[in-house]
Every structure is written in structure tokens, then in C-alpha cells.
Chains A and B, each alone.
Chain A
């Protein structure tokens, strides 16, 4: 990107509005998503966002208003109702959480679509403005919309920060929180309410069908980089904002690309990158660790064989051994390659032909290795 495009970006009203809105949504959803992930409620957002649709349709049916604040309020009411239905069904019957989620999301969404077709049918009103709530349409965002989003998202994050300690305890150890006398039920309902706020804030830009992914993806990505809650929340906010901006900008630049899917794909890319490249938990780091462990095991196997053979002679370093002998003793892997690598480290020496011998440094390493193992064994036997 050259400075020219950056300047063009900042002078373009639509792009600036879209980017600001998407950043707000992504950041809010990222922070709230971290808590949802901790509480194993990643899919609750799915039910909430689908359940928001009938609220949008109802507000329009009853008031005829398409003002974002009114529609979002309606979405929040039915979304919250959906979340309460899920917890209520799980608590009061044998229906499991996954069934309750699937049921609530499909029934509420179906009802919402039913209401939308009812609106469509009326001669006096077109539902044109409501369709964008399905998959989101960032290009139509106005400054007023962004202000609504920022107020909702900022409010949710503010409450979250105010009750940070309580929510943290509730998420990690609800039993202990109850023991300390915290109003666990009320905190639970409040946190769910904040989740609903984060979801409805994003509906207009990302759409009800895919908003739930914004609660899952940034949090899952942030989880890979840290084990601490506060940095995780900050990272998730950053990832969410980045995905929001990237997706929204892509969608308003490319023709016929709905925003919701574009944002979700951007977030997915961030997750994939984190899963593969994060330094401690990442798949690459894990593969590298496993590879090194296997190599060390193979090298030490051959080294210990050499050490054992040498111990049977008077002058250990003067008694070379044939590769064939070592190969017979080895558990697996290429003995010749291990010998070359041992030589590189100065633990073994080539004695001409097919003969190899252990060096003084190699003896030291083998003794240290055996002492370590013996100490491990004692530690395991001790308790």
C-alpha cells in the first residue's frame, strides 16, 4: 500500500465510516468472545444473533421505523429473550444445551423470516432496508449508525471493565464465586446481556447469520498467544478490529461482496495464522518440539550404546566399534546419520573404515544424561 492509497482511504467518507464501524464491532465482539469462550458458550452468540431477527422485524412492523437505534433495541430484546430461553430450557428440562441452542436459533430465526415475508407482502412498505440485516451491508453505514454501534459496544466493554474481577471469577470458578457471596445468577444474566449488546451492535454491518463467528474467531485466535485473561481480551479486541476493517474495506471495494462473509473470512485467516504460527501453542512450534525430542532420543540412544560398549574395555576411547554392532543395538533410525551428528557435536569420533569411538566429551554427556534419568526415577519413586 502506498501513501497515496492511505491518503485516499482517509479522505473517502464511506471507507472511513465503514472501517470505524467494523473496528468497533470487531473489538467489542472480540472482548466479549473471550468470556464466552471461557464459559464454553461460544455458540450462544449464534443463537442470540439469529434470535435478534424477529425483534428487528417486529419493531418495523409495530412502528414502521427503520432508525438503527430502534431496530437494534428490538434486536436486543428478542436476542436476550433467546439467550434466556436457552438457559431456561437447559435448567428446567432434560434437553441438553446443544439441542436448546439449535432449537432456539432455528425457531426464532424462522419466526423472523416469517415476519419479514409478512412485511414484504404489505403494499405500503418495502423491506429493502431490513434485508441487509441478514448478511450485513457495510457500504450503507452512516455516521449515525457508527455512533449507535460505538455507544452499544463501548457501553458493554465499560460495564465489563467495571465488573472485571467479578466476571473473571465467575468465568473461571463459578462455585467459588458463589461461595464468596457474589450474586452469581445476576452476574450471569448481566454478562449474557453484554454478549447480546455486542452481537446486536454488529448486526447491521455483519448480519445475523454470521455475527456469531465474530464472538468465536478473535477469541480463539487470541487464546493461542497468551494464557492471561487481560492480554487475551486486548489481543482479541485487536484481532476483531483488524478482521472487521479488512472485511469491511474489501466488501466496499469489491463489487457484490456482502460484508458479513468477508469479515468472517478475514477473522478465519487470523485464526489459522495463530493456530499455525503462535510460538508456544502453535502447530509449527509443536511439530518443531516433537522433531527435536525425537532427534535427541535417537542421538542419545546411539551415544549410550557407544558408552556401554566402551565401558567393557580397559581404555574406552581406544576401542572403536563397528557400525554393524551399533545397528544391532539401536532401537531405530539411521545409525550412520546419528554417528555423523554425534561427531559434529564432538561426542563421537570416526576411527577409520566402519569404526567409531566415543570421545571424552561424549562420555561426559552420557554420564550426565544417565544421572539425570536416575534423578528422575528417584523423584518418581519417592512420593
Chain B
């Protein structure tokens, strides 16, 4: 495999793993937990490194994941004192842990092959140089094995407990009544998030971890109401953002993780604007067409009321209708054109006359 393909595979596997766990974070309104966890695992990595002295040690992953779970526990403990609100609790815990990590890291500068740039951005571009070669046979980059392993872990864990997580996410009360421990599920999910964040952190940095855990699931949430479909779409969009971001970064020769985060933003923006039902464009068009339908009904009712009255000469004149209905002249013209096209009305000299279809519409609108 060429390094290019390897980088894209690592990024895509990371993106899919993040998107899958992220779907539950987004639905449980805990998206900012991904931010908190991804920041505070830095402390775990640094402390574990100082204790073990080896960046490749599995203890690093474990130590970091433990810090992630510790963050969740601290936020909850702080929130339970009822002295601070939940969002403030998050905002207190992770900056403190992250600060400790940064200071420890800065004071070790030189002896650690890890600096703040790596923390924020990861080093995906160098991932192919770090090979996984047990016994001398080259089995591909280590990061790919790590990302693939975490993806497998996430898929298996979420698959096994899909029903329970789904229930606890949408109806925590019912889940508790049926005997599923919400706390156990919560901490299980958070452990999964932590492990995923640690594995991804190594390759893509903490910014992209947040972008991938929140962006694709939030975009998918705009496109569908069904959880399995949402997870599938999120995984797809995550992988697409990863690969697209990679080529974007290659084209501009900039940071891969930064470009991927920007691509995630573009994907979410497209979903926000273009989602078939919930998109802003679809909503604007729906509003415009509802406005037109309502105006057509108003026009039909107005004409039906006045067509045989004594003041029909005035009330039904094409160039004066907008005054009677309190419309902008331009809007009135558009409505009249649409009405004529649909054969609701016809023009007779200066007057507008109702057709049979228009009369039916007026009667229907009044008796509805």
C-alpha cells in the first residue's frame, strides 16, 4: 500500500469510529463531553508517559482512557453538589485537567517526543512511517491497526448493547424502570468515547476528534429520524469528510486534520441547507408555497364574495385587487398569474372573473 492510501484508510477508520459513538453523544445532548474528554486525556497521556517512559506503550492508551472517564466522573460529582450548573461543571473540569497536562508537557520539553502542535493537530502525515512489524514482518502502519481495532471495538460494543443504549437514550426513565442501569450504560458509553478519543487523538489531534464526534452525527440527525440510518449516514459522511479533507489538505499543502475539520463543517452546512425535509432551503420553499396557496384561496374567496355584488366593478378590477386584500402590488400580480395558470380565474377586460375551479376552491376554503 502506498503511504497515501494508508493515511486515507487511517483517517477513514478513525472517522467512522468517532461518528458511531458520536451519534449517541449527539442524541443524548452530551456533545460537549467529547470536547471535555478529548482535552483532558492529554493529562493521562503525559502522566502515563512520565511513569512508563515509552510513547508506544499500551499503558498510555489505558491511562489516557482512564482520564477520560475520570473527567466524566468529576463533572458529575461537581454537578451533583448542586453548587454549579452542568455546563459550568464541564467548563471547570476539563480546562483544569488540560492545563495540568500542558504544563507537565511544557516542563518536560525536549525529553518528550510530543508537543502542543501534535496535541492539537495530530501527525497523520507521519503515521505511515511508524510500522507495526511483529517479528520483522511488516503488517502496515501501527496507527491503522489502532484505528481499525478501535473501530472494531466500537462496532461490536455498540452492536451488542444497541437495544439498551437506544432505549436509555430516548427514554431513560423507561430504561431504568425496566432494570437497565442508566449509570452503567452511561459510563460504558463514556469509556467507549474515551478509548476512541485516545486512539484518534494520536493520529488526528484533539480538534478533529471533536469535529468527527459531533459533525457527522449532527448532520445525519438532520437527514433522518431512524437511529440505524442516522449511524450509517454519520459513518458515511465521516469517512467522506476524512478522505475529502485529505485531498483538500494535499491540494493546499496545509494541515490534514485542520482541513478535515473544515470539510466536516462544509458537510454539516450542506445538510443544514439542503436536507430534503428539514433543510433551510426546503423550509423556505415550503413557506413560500404555503403563502401562495393561502393567497390563492383568499383571492378566490374575495372574488366569490363580490363578483355579483353592486361594487364588483371596483372590487374585482385586476389593478385594484391588491388594495382590497392589502397586498404588495408585485405580490398581487404573481398571485393573479398563478391563479390564471391554474385556471382558477380568467381576465375579462379590466376585471377578474372566477372560473368554476376557483368557485370550488373558495367554497372549500370557507367550509374547511
A: which residues have CB within 8 A of B? Answer: 37, 40-43, 45-46, 89, 92-96, 98-103, 105-118, 121, 134-135, 209-210, 212-213, 215-217, 219-220, 223-224, 256-258, 260-262, 264-265, 268, 271, 275, 281, 283
Contact = CB atoms under 8 A, between A and B. Distances in A.
Interface stretch (B168-176, B183-191, B261-269, B303-311): B261-269
Query: A41, A92, A93 — which one has the most chain B CB atoms within 10 A of its CB?
Result: A93
B98 A212 contact: no
A96 B32 contact: no
A98 B208 contact: no
A262 B211 contact: no
B211 A135 contact: no
B103 A107 contact: no
A106 B222 contact: no
Contact of A105 (B26, B96, B210, B258): B210
B37 to A, nearest CB: 11
A256 B99 CA distance: 13
Interface stretch (B64-72, B248-256, B343-351, B355-363): B248-256
Contacts of B265: 103, 107-108, 110-111
Nearest to A286: B81
Across the A-B interface, give the 3 residue pairs with the lowest CB-CB distance, nearest first.
A110-B261, A114-B258, A107-B265
Given A98-B30, A113-B121, A210-B98, A42 B88 contact: yes
A262 B99 contact: yes
B262 A110 contact: yes
B338 interface: no
Contacts of A114: 249, 252, 254-255, 258-259, 261-262
Interface string B183-224: 000000000000000000000000110110111011001100
Contacts of B32: 43, 46, 98, 101-102
B211 A99 contact: no
Contacts, number: 200
25 contacts: A43-B90, A46-B35, A92-B280, A93-B278, A99-B31, A105-B35, A106-B207, A106-B210, A107-B261, A110-B258, A113-B121, A118-B253, A121-B254, A134-B120, A209-B98, A215-B91, A216-B91, A217-B92, A256-B109, A257-B107, A258-B102, A260-B99, A261-B100, A264-B99, A268-B92
B257 A113 contact: yes
Interface of B: 26, 29-32, 34-35, 78, 81, 83-85, 87-88, 90-92, 95-96, 98-100, 102-103, 106-107, 109, 116, 120-121, 207-208, 210-211, 213-215, 217-218, 221-222, 249, 252-255, 257-262, 264-265, 268, 272, 278, 280
Given A117-B254, A117-B255, A210-B95, A43 B87 contact: yes
A256 to B, nearest CB: 5
A182 B90 CA distance: 32
Nearest to B208: A110
Contact of B262 (A41, A111, A217): A111
A98 B31 CA distance: 5
Contact of B264 (A107, A223, A281): A107
Contacts of A271: 92
A95 B262 contact: no
Contacts of B107: 256-257
Contacts of B34: 102
Contacts of A89: 272
Contacts of B211: 103, 106-107, 110
Given A98-B32, A99-B26, A109 B207 contact: yes
A290 B353 CA distance: 83
B252 A118 contact: yes
A219 B367 CA distance: 59
Contacts of A110: 207-208, 211, 257-262, 264-265
A99 to B, nearest CB: 4
Given A94-B222, A268-B92, A271-B92, 20 more contacts: A42-B90, A42-B91, A43-B87, A93-B278, A102-B35, A103-B218, A103-B268, A107-B211, A110-B260, A110-B264, A114-B252, A114-B255, A114-B258, A135-B116, A217-B92, A217-B95, A223-B83, A256-B109, A265-B100, A275-B84
Contacts of A260: 99, 102
